[in-house]
Structure 1
Amino acid sequence: MGKILVTGATGNVGRHVVSQLAEAGLEVRALARAPERAGLPVETVRGDLTAPETLEPALEDVESVFLLWPGFTADGAEAVVTAISKHARRVVYLSANGAEDPASHYHAVERIIRGSGLGWTFLRPGGFAANTLGWAALIRQGVVRWPYGQAARSLIHEKDIAAAAVHVLTSGGHHGAAYVLTGPEQLTQEEQVRVIGEATGREVRWEEQPQEEAREQLMAAWGEAAFVDGALRTWESFVTRPEEVTGTVEKLLGRPALTFREWARDHAADFR
């Protein structure tokens, strides 16, 4: 098997992809903007997906690429995919559930990859369990004031996303597949807070936040109106139509997906 390039290698998912590939004894190269600070156990080279001209050295002798696209638009993706196609034979793209929506930048990147001539597989996870780390300060205070406490999600552990990526990168039969990845259960946001509290040994309660107040707070934090409004609409929709559970992780890996409770135990220190 040829060398695998991992982009987004210092992120929540990328770090696990790198470590799992390295533990399997495979040739791995990690891409990082600052290799000297990456702290990865494999060859790490300097490169930036927003500057496609920096990718040539990283792509030398590479057969497969794990692609995590940065940002909320597809600007520049065509140049990056073109650079990849000059060297590699296939790409595993970390997309998202809902990428079928033509307005989504995930859809745009998928379209570019489909037309590139590369072999491809799309991983489309739903909600990341790691997104609940955004509640860390509130958990420490003992009250999570947030909107849509009854929004039910099937949050996935980043280790499972990485394990699915590694499986697809190292085995056959995945060309042209788009896998929707979820956790094994649906929990409301209020239940997620309770589970985190139990994992950390804290008394934590949920306090429902009005939507308009939440929007004002998120605008101050994120600064992108379309993204904020999209997030609020999505959470609202999960109150009446909970996020699906697909079972795809178990089908790919031959074991059940990790639960949110397991994720909370793994990250308990992050909330203390």
Structure 2
Amino acid sequence: MTTLVTGATGNTGRHVVRELLERGEKVRALTRNPAAALRILPSGVELAEGTHTAPDALAAALDGIDRLHVTVTAGLAEVGPELVRRAVDAGVRRITVVWGGAVGAAEEAIAASGVEWTRLEPQEFMSNTATWADSIRAEGVVREPYDLPSALVHEADIGAVAAVALLEDGHSGQVYNLTGPEALTPRERVAHLSRAIGREIGFVTITHEQAVDRLMATGVSRADADYVIGWYAAPPAVSTTIDDTVERVTGRPARTFAHWVTENAHRFQ
């Protein structure tokens, strides 16, 4: 049996690929840039060129696939149902999906597909911390509008849960909220980083509008920027409440933020 992993070089996709390969499974990685993927993904993975947001060009990538992992990204809302239809027609019988922050057309199509499916609903990714890297390296400062707690989850734990749901029975129709083992404020995360890199990092409060403008400057739409910064302004209770799903599903504790920092400290130095 072979699993197709979409977004295979992304924050979560690469961990799904690694987890499956470590279990001895056959993995086909869908990527826009196979040459770059060779430098990122472990050896033993089969590469397929393409993107899940262009499902009409995925006949070859879906050929012989039994299982599918999907990460909902921008642009999938319009074509998600078509991707699911083509996957099911090609013989896919089990799907895992990392939601896009809300249940949209892609998530709904997967739930209505008639095949086994599991939806993963991670709260904030620990890798979001990497957006601070430039300002920390250049100025030793982090600028954020709010200092509220978030139960961040390690991307590798998302990959581990996805692998279990893809390979083992008993997860069909399940919706898994995924968090780390602690809820940390941005200042607390900064303190972890300061200790890891051996120098003080300042924390400067900016306005809500400044945060929206900063995000829009990266190419994000006004609506999406308002949504993201609004989430930080009033995070839902589920995003600050510790959930033991990672440990229940995988049999091992969720990774801590300190663990993530140890792996990624070089990015801030």
How does the TM-score come out when normalised to structure 1? 0.91
Which segment is superposed worse, 44-53 or 80-89? Answer: 44-53
Give matches, 1:114-193, under 5 Å: 114-140=111-137, 141-148=139-146, 150-193=147-190
Query: Shift of residue 213 of structure 1?
Result: 2.1
2:216 maps to 219
2:203 to 195, 202, 206: 206
In the superposition, relative to structure 1, how do residues 195 and 239 fare at CA in structure 2: closer, same or farther (>3 Å)? farther
Name stretches of at least 5 consecutive residues in structure 2 with no aligned partner. Answer: none
Q: Is the 8 A contact 2:52 2:76 kept in 1?
A: no
How far is 1:240 from its partner? 8.9
Number of the residue aligned with 1:85: 88
State the distance in 1 between where 2:77 and 2:65 align.
23
The alpha-carbon deviation at position 217 of structure 1 amounts to 2.1
Structure 2 residue matching 1:91: 3-state secondary structure: strand
Counterpart for residue 11 of structure 2 = 12
Displacement of 1:72 in angstroms is 5.5
Gaps of 5+ in 1: 100-105
Q: What letter corresponds to residue 249 of structure 2 in structure 1? A: L
Letter of the 1:36 counterpart: A
Secondary structure (helix, strand or coil) at the match of 2:52 reads: coil
What is aligned with 2:54?
51
Report the Cα offset of residue 266 of structure 1: 0.7
Q: Counterparts of 1:22 and 1:36 in 2: how far apart (Å)?
A: 19
Q: Identify the range of structure 1 (62-71 vs 172-181) with the bigger mean alpha-carbon deviation.
A: 62-71
Q: Tell me which residue corresponds to 2:254.
A: 257
Q: Percent identity, please.
A: 40
Q: Relative to structure 1, is the Cα distance of residues 108 and 53 closer, same or farther in structure 2, using a 3 angstrom cutoff? A: closer
C-alpha displacement of 1:239: 9.7
Which string of whole-angstrom CA distances, capped at 9 and with x for unpartnered residues, describes residues 113-165 of structure 1?
A: 122222111011000000110010112121112110x2100101111111111
For residues 259 and 146 of structure 1, the distance between their equivalents in structure 2, rounded to whole angstroms, comes to 22
Residue 75 (structure 1) aligned with residue 78 (structure 2): yes
Give the 3 Å change call, closer, same or farther, for CA 242–28 of structure 1 in structure 2: closer
Q: 1-side partners of 2:219 and 2:187: how far apart?
A: 23
The answer to whether the 8 Å contact 2:21/2:27 transfers is yes
Decide whether aligned partners of structure 1 residues 241 and 89 sit closer, same or farther in structure 2, where only a CA change above 3 A counts: closer
* Equivalent residue pairs, number: 263
Q: Is the CA contact 1:82–1:116 (under 8 Å) kept in the aligned structure 2?
A: yes
Larger mean CA deviation between 170-179 and 16-25 belongs to 16-25
1:241 Cα deviation after fit: 8.6
- Which secondary structure does the structure 1 equivalent of 2:170 belong to? coil
Equivalent position SS for 1:178: strand
